[in-house]
Amino acid sequence: MKTLRFLPLVLFAILMMGVSGAIAAPLAAGNYTIGGAGGNFATFSAAVARINADGIAGNVNFAVRPGTYSEAITIHHIQGVGQVVFASESGDSTSVTLVNSFPSDTVPLRLDGAQGISFTGIRFFAGDTLKPGVVSMIHGCASIEFRHCLFEGVIMADRITGQLVDGSESDSAIGFTDNQFRTASSGIKIVGKTVRPRQIRVSRNRFDGIRDLAINLQHLDAPLAVGNMLAIISGAETFTGISLYQCTGALLVDGNRMNIRAQDGIAVSIWMCDGTAQARGMVSNNMIVFDVTSQAAKKQWGLLLYRSTYQNFHHNSIRQTSALKDPLANFSAVHLDAVAPTHVAILNNIFSVNSGQPLSLTSQIDTTIHSDNNDLFSTSGNIGVFNGTFYATLTQWRNGVKLDQHSRAVDPGFASAADLHLRGDAVHGLGADIGGNPRLDIDGQTRNPRHPDIGADELRSYREKPAYVAFPATRADWRVSICGFGCDTLRYWLTGGDTVVGDLSYHRIYEMKDLLKFSLAKARYVGAIREDSVRRVFILRAGMTRELPLYDFDAVAGDTVRVGGMADTNLYPVVVESTDSVLIDGAYRRRINLAGGESWIDGVGSTGSVIFPGVTRYITDYAPALLCFRQEDRPLYGTSCATPNLGLPWGAGADPATAGISVTGAGGAVRVIIPDGSEYTLDLYDLSGKAIGRMYGIGSGRLPYERSLAAGVYLYRLTLTSGDAVDGKLMME
């Protein structure tokens, strides 16, 4: 009975546990609103207080209504499984502002060990007091994403906001994409903890009015800085665009655009970063312009490499037009500094300078340093400097330093001083074959993998060789115009059935001298076609016992193909001038261009005559031209495929409903015979299939056209009110 003395205490403890459990219920998964009338949470602080205290029970989305929220929030590690999203309800980063207006050093947003948080369309503003920044990340934040946000500082008197985003103790998976950074000393700073974090991405952001350092990445593994825009930076004494310090692995600095007007400026700094043979760092496809109009510039470097290994500098374009105090010593497009780096490749870059030199090396050259196929264009009278020795010409540089044996020194032909896209062929196709690394240029165009352009811009996008499309083996037809002493139109029909000759399977092909659809009774058999396993097409012409070569779809530029004969004795040699591709039915097909103007297209055949390809090179009075190619009744290629499909249904003969109908012409007028006196519509076309007029009538009689038809051959379609139609050819005399 003594134990009963403690019963009230036990009941009180159980009661308090129940009350506490009710208070600590996590925020349920779902969509919530912040701000505005009737919102779930009046402020950021209220929403953050709830998830900090109680955690979440799944994915939580906060839609933030337009307004200025004067508060400072701190998000800690949130209990529960799920992601938390803060997004502007309107999607406009100028409609939602988070600002700390209180006179303190607290930033508007602090992430303290937070994980799984993203922000979209939010403006983080320093306000009217000089805060150290707008976002701070400490104590191992991970899986943090900012998209379409605006990070904005202020200038007060002679002072400016410091670091907009300070991630001094970050962990893995931190991303900044499609954001804007304005008015501060520095933009983004991400520093890894003891173990170098991975998946740090800074991509497609814009930096305006950043005076010191735009992107600062330290102690990270394989960080990415891709596609960022660093707008004109002017008035600053020193400026660095992208700095990577003590990073490891396959770092990537690609497709960034910079215009720098600082007195001392570095576009990209790679400082004590080590890749490996399997995971090399890559600085590629960057366009960098240095333009200081006065002689205030002191020292400017495009790409600075200090005590780093296994780094690639590929396909960058750097232009320098600054006036420097010391025009020889103080500018280098690429500068290898201090202790000799190893395993460095400087390939396919454009370095165009009017002060200083394209290349400078201040240490002994390691045999693993490879520089070649660059354009080293200099109007300063200097190509490079090595250990204090200046080299005036490319030949002197090659002989003295043993680098750039296949480089050149020509004006690359930039679009303008600020636009480093190419506008000429000076460096077109002159890059080294580096296995298509990078495969795309700064604009996302595919590079020629074997003969790329030098620099960040591929002048003409390279289209990879399309998948082969075999020559038709099902029903198809080719409508061909033939002009010699006059013009006529033929149609060739390939049937779907097989014809076995010997041990080989062929497909029969027929010719008709009008535009009616296939009728075996009216067609002339001209031969049978087959394709072998190496993309060669042969024809067994009517009356022959031996097949002849018709196409070689494996031919490449420079090859000679033999075409066009009725027998082995009169095959004609034709040279393949080039190959490219053409878009057909939503996909590219390979095209072989022959001397003389004719082309062969995969799965189509000749743009001249399907059964006599290549003959226009030798027979000048015979000029076939493909008007339309169709397969399985689908128009696929040709100048007149968009016109109405003239003809009776496939395989049909004459329709009894249209028997006896005739259309003739004389003196510019049309005469129609309709035996049963039916009402009809008559459409006229020229030989290309272009509609030229429509007439109406009842029964037989003469139909004068509103303008007299010139003598020649026309196509027509006569449609009865019953829907029956007949197509044919009209000779106007």
pLDDT grade for 667, boundaries at 50, 70 and 90? low
pLDDT, tens digit (0-9, with 9 covering 90-100), for 451-482: 899 999 998 766 666 789 999 988 888 888 87
Q: 563, 556 in Cβ contact below 8 A?
A: no
Buried/exposed code over 596-629 (b: 16+ C-beta within 10 A; e: otherwise): eebbbbbbbbbbbbbbbbbbbbeeeeeebbbbbb
Rounded Cα–Cα distance for residues 295 and 567 (Å): 78
pLDDT in tens, 696-732: 676 666 665 444 677 777 878 787 766 667 777 777 7
The confidence score (pLDDT) of residue 439 equals: 85
Most confident listed range (105-114, 187-196, 571-580):
105-114
> Which residue did the predictor score with more confidence, 642 or 388?
388
- Cα dihedral 360, 364, 370, 371, rounded to 10, equals 20
pLDDT attached to residue 484: 56
Q: How confident is the model at residue 364 (pLDDT cuts 50, 70, 90)?
A: low
The DSSP output letter for 5 is G
Q: Tell me the whole-structure pTM to 2 decimals.
A: 0.65
Task: Give the mean pLDDT of the chain.
Answer: 82
H/E/C letters for each residue in 6-60?
A: HHHHHHHHHHHHHHHHHHCCCEEEEEEEECCCCCCECCHHHHHHHHHHHCEEEEE
Confidence of residue 70 (pLDDT cuts 50, 70, 90): very high
Identify which of 347, 417, 396, 338 has the alpha carbon closest to the alpha carbon of residue 375: 347
CA proximity to 344, closest of 275, 400, 268: 275
Residue predicted with more confidence, 424 or 352: 352
Give the span between the Cα atoms of 95 and 88, in whole angstroms.
Answer: 7
Amino acid at 421: H
Cβ contacts of 335 within 8 Å, gap of 6 or more: 301, 302, 303, 304, 305, 360, 361, 362
Higher model confidence: residue 475 or residue 293? 475
Pick from 269, 282, 218, 219: nearest CA to 239:
269
Residue type, 488: D
Top-confidence residue, 188 or 129: 188
Beta strands in 276-412, from DSSP E residues, in sequence order: 281-284, 287-290, 299-306, 309-314, 317-320, 331-337, 342-347, 350-353, 357-361, 369-372, 375-378, 384-386, 389-391
* Residue, of 333 and 322, whose pLDDT is higher: 333
Q: What is the residue-wise DSSP string for 297-325?
A: B-EEEEEEEES-EEEEEES-EEEE---BS
pLDDT digits (tens, 9 = 90+) for 224-236: 999 999 986 655 6
* Pairing status of strand 605-606 against strand 599-601: antiparallel
Q: What is the pLDDT of residue 333?
A: 83
pLDDT for residue 191: 92
- Gap between the Cα atoms of 75 and 48, Å rounded: 6
Secondary structure (3-state) at 380: coil
Q: Which of 144, 287, 115 has the alpha carbon at shortest distance from 202? A: 144
What average pLDDT does range 429-452 have in this prediction? Answer: 86
Question: Torsion-angle region of residue 415: left (phi > 0), alpha (psi -120 to 50) or beta?
Answer: alpha
What is the average per-residue pLDDT within 608-630? 73
Report pLDDT digits (tens) over 206-230.
999 888 899 999 999 999 999 999 9
Instruction: Using DSSP bridges, classify how beta strands 73-75 and 109-112 pair: parallel, antiparallel or unpaired.
Output: parallel
Closest Cα partner for 592 from 632, 619, 563, 565?
563
Confidence check: pLDDT of 282 > 90: yes
Kind of pairing between the strands at 317-320 and 350-353:
parallel
Quote the pLDDT of residue 185.
86
Asked whether 394 and 388 are in contact (CB, 8 A), the reply is: no
Residue 411 has pLDDT above 90, yes or no: yes
Given phi > 0 = left and psi -120 to 50 = alpha, else beta, which region is 723?
A: left
Give the tens place of pLDDT for each residue, 23-61: 569 999 999 999 999 889 999 999 999 999 999 999 999
How many Cβ atoms are within 10 Å of 1's Cβ, its own excluded?
A: 4
Nearest CA among 132, 90, 93, 128 for reference residue 109 = 132
C-beta of residue 208 within 8 angstroms of C-beta of residue 231? yes
Q: Which of 323-327, 489-493, 512-516, 707-711 has the lowest mean pLDDT?
A: 323-327
Sequence-distant (≥ 6) Cβ neighbours of residue 232 within 8 angstroms:
259, 260, 261
The rounded distance, in Å, linking the Cα atoms of 366 and 346 is 13
